[in-house]
Amino acid sequence: QQPVFSEQNCSLEGQVADIADRIAYNCHDLEDGLRAGLIDIRKLKEIQLFQQAQDAIQAFEIKDPDVLRTRTAKAIIDILVSDCIYAGKILLENSKIKSVDDVYAISDSLIALSEQSENKLKELENFLLNGFYAQQTLAQPAEKIQKQLEKLFDSLCRDPGQLPAYYQQLIDKEGLQRTVCDYIAGMTDRFCLKMLGEIQD
């Protein structure tokens, strides 16, 4: 017997989780990209959410680059979450739902951004897709990727204490350079960028 998949809408909790994950994912990737120096600041300044975030934090006169990156990402999160709360309240009121079954019966999301903020988030997503994710793969010059990996490799070889305990235990058996290579090869893109950012800072 084939399983039957429901086409009903997900719960309100699920909708909250979906939009929260989407906001967090994009903002964290923006912060990681800035930290690793893989984002064109001139083009980023054209993105509406970035402009709003800069306006929101300029009064703090932040000088530290790492703090500035973090506060910028947090400001974007605050902007989008605030909008989602306001827009979601209107959607819920207009939907006239009275029970959980009503939530499942409605095809459209009841927890969502306003149309204006949705367009702004899509603009940021497209920017990251074309200016950050692509740069990490084929669009990024191979020479730049090689230099970044060499920098990470050299840092780990100079200070093996940065390696997790498991890999440190492999050094005597496998050798330092082989162990470091295996460690880097197992990294996710995001974690690799995070480590590169820490080294550059």
Mean pLDDT (the chain) is: 84
Q: Are the C-beta atoms of residues 102 and 95 closer than 8 Å to each other?
A: yes
Cβ atoms within 10 Å of 65's Cβ, excluding its own:
12
pTM assigned to the model: 0.63
Residue with token string 């819920």 = 92
Higher-pLDDT residue of 127 and 103 is 127
Quick one: average pLDDT of 102-116? 86
At 62, give phi and psi (nearest 5°). -75, 130
For residue 193, the model assigns a pLDDT of 77
- 10 secondary structure, DSSP code: P
- Sorted by where each begins, the domain ranges of the chain are 12-136, 142-200
Query: Does residue 182 have a pLDDT over 50?
Result: yes
Helices and strands (DSSP H and E) totals, the chain: 11, 0
Q: Which two tokens stand for residue 74?
A: 């947090």
Q: List, for residues 38-81, the tens digit of each pLDDT value.
A: 888 899 999 999 999 999 998 888 888 888 889 999 999 999 99
For residue 62, the model assigns a pLDDT of 83
**CA 152/CA 193 separation, integer angstroms:** 10
For residue 1, the model assigns a pLDDT of 40
Residue of 125, 116, 124 whose CA lies nearest to 83 = 116
Q: List, for residues 127-178, the tens digit of each pLDDT value.
A: 998 877 666 554 455 667 788 889 999 999 999 998 888 888 889 988 999 8
**CA 1/CA 15 separation, integer angstroms:** 30
pLDDT band at 3 (very low <50, low <70, confident <90, very high): very low
Higher-pLDDT residue of 92 and 3 is 92
Helix boundaries (H) for 58-139? 65-95, 100-105, 115-128, 134-136
Q: List, for residues 22-43, the tens digit of each pLDDT value.
A: 999 899 889 888 887 888 889 9
Quick one: average pLDDT of 15-21? 89
For residue 136, the model assigns a pLDDT of 57
